[in-house]
Amino acid sequence: MDIADWRKKIDEIDRKLVHLISDRARAAHEIGKLKRGLAMPIYEPDREQTVFDQVRKVNPGPLPDRDLLRIYERIMDIMRQIQQEEIAPESLAAEATPPDPGGTELDSDVND
């Protein structure tokens, strides 16, 4: 395969990832509704650790666990934000969510 073929493969994988992440976000939103009804906290460190342990366990590589966990930390941050928006009014959600010092800037060293 040449570069164009690999990039087509990456594009297809990205499409699949977008759908899976959207499914995950919908699930987080529904969990946020349930947490609101049960007066549960948004942040559940034990549950997050379970997720990290599970993804580490099924990681086939070549991505090192530490990098996979960094990706999942960001995913979990965003999912907590989705739940915060479900549980609290928008004004409270903005106040309760600390600003992200890194913003959404992409890694300039990564092209594909």
Does residue 54 fall inside a structural domain?
Answer: yes
For 78-106, how does the pLDDT look when each residue is reduced to its tens digit (9 = 90+)? 999 999 887 775 544 455 555 555 555 55
Does residue 109 fall inside a structural domain?
Answer: no
Q: Which residue has the higher pLDDT, 15 or 86?
A: 15
Residue-range definition of the domain harbouring residue 73:
43-95
Does residue 66 fall inside a structural domain?
Answer: yes
For 61-84, how does the pLDDT look when each residue is reduced to its tens digit (9 = 90+)? 999 999 999 999 999 999 999 998
Taken as a whole, the chain contains a residue count of 112
User: Per the structure, how many domains does the chain have?
Assistant: 1
Assess whether pLDDT exceeds 60 at residue 109: no
Phi-psi region for residue 16, left (φ > 0), alpha (ψ -120 to 50) or beta?
Answer: alpha
Whether 52 contacts 72, CB under 8 Å: yes
Does residue 4 fall inside a structural domain?
Answer: no
Does residue 87 fall inside a structural domain?
Answer: yes
Does residue 60 fall inside a structural domain?
Answer: yes
Q: Residue 93: its pLDDT value, please?
A: 44
Question: What distance in Å separates the CA atoms of residue 76 and residue 54, rounded to the nearest whole number?
Answer: 14
For 37-57, how does the pLDDT look when each residue is reduced to its tens digit (9 = 90+)? 899 999 999 999 999 999 999
Does residue 75 fall inside a structural domain?
Answer: yes
Residue with tokens 């609290």: 88
What stretch of H or E contains 77? Answer: helix 65-87
Q: Residue 91: its pLDDT value, please?
A: 43
Question: What distance in Å separates the CA atoms of residue 2 and residue 8, rounded to the nearest whole number?
Answer: 10
